């Protein structure tokens, strides 16, 4: 199901929630806003990790 994920990088402003990690903020600085289109049957943290993987990061499980 993760292979169906569509990941889109864009440069529209978006404020990440305070609890999210510093690595995400660094990614936004480097790549612009990371937008993940949620699939109903996949939890958000899995999708975020998958997005990192596609961008060449290997984050720890959240």
Q: How many domains does the chain have?
A: 1
pLDDT digits (tens, 9 = 90+) for 20-46: 555 565 555 665 555 555 545 556 666
* Residue 35, domain member (yes or no): yes
- Mean pLDDT for 9-27 is 45
| Burial profile 34-62: b = 16 or more Cβ within 10 angstroms, e = fewer | bebeeeeeeeeeebbbbbbeeeeeeeeee
Give domain status of residue 43, yes or no. yes
Does residue 11 fall inside a structural domain?
A: yes
Do the domain assignments include residue 26? yes
pLDDT band at 62 (very low <50, low <70, confident <90, very high): very low
Domain around 31: 2-55
**Rounded Cα–Cα distance for residues 50 and 29 (Å):** 19
Average pLDDT over residues 17-21: 45
Whether 60 is covered by a domain: the verdict is no
């Amino acid at each position: 199901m993760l292979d169906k994920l569509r990941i889109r990088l864009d440069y529209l402003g978006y404020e990440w929630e305070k609890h999210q990690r510093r690595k995400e903020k660094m990614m936004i600085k480097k790549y612009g806003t990371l937008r993940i289109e949620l699939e109903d049957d996949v939890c958000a943290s899995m999708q975020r990790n998958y997005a990192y993987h596609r961008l060449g990061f290997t984050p720890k499980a959240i």
